């Protein structure tokens, strides 16, 4: 936000693709859920890829330093404090 850029949207992310299944399994692991995650395959999958284009952030010198699992873990710990 201190870049001096006055307008526009910025995608903030790792630039690495992750499937909904991988994300759900990661959250399951972090929160300690021992149940089963069920996917309803009778419905459309939605957008095939959910990868953000982070090139604009990279041109400003920013890149993600926190791996996905570490970020989810940190967010969950903060959630538990509330």
pLDDT at 13: 82
pLDDT at 48: 65
**Residue 28 scores a pLDDT above 90:** yes
What pLDDT band is residue 53 in, cutting at 50, 70 and 90?
confident
Tokens representing residue 10 in the block: 């910025």
pLDDT at 7: 74
pLDDT at 16: 86
Contact 51, 17 (CB under 8 A): yes
Hey, what long-range contacts does 67-71 have (CB within 8 A, 24 or more apart)? 67/14, 68/14, 68/16, 68/18, 68/23, 68/26, 69/26, 69/29, 69/30
pLDDT at 27: 97
In the chain, what percentage of residues exceed pLDDT 90?
37
What would the 3-class secondary structure string for 5-28 be?
CCCCCCCCCCCCCCCHHHHHHHHH
**Residue 21 scores a pLDDT above 60:** yes
């Amino acid at each position: 936000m201190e870049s001096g850029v006055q307008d526009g949207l910025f995608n903030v992310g790792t630039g690495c693709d992750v499937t909904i299944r991988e994300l759900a399994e990661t959250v399951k692991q972090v929160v300690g859920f021992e149940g089963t995650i069920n996917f309803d395959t009778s419905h459309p999958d939605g957008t095939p890829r959910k990868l953000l284009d982070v090139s604009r952030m990279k041109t400003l010198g920013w890149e993600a330093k926190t791996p996905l699992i570490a970020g989810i873990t940190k967010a969950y710990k903060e959630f538990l404090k509330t």
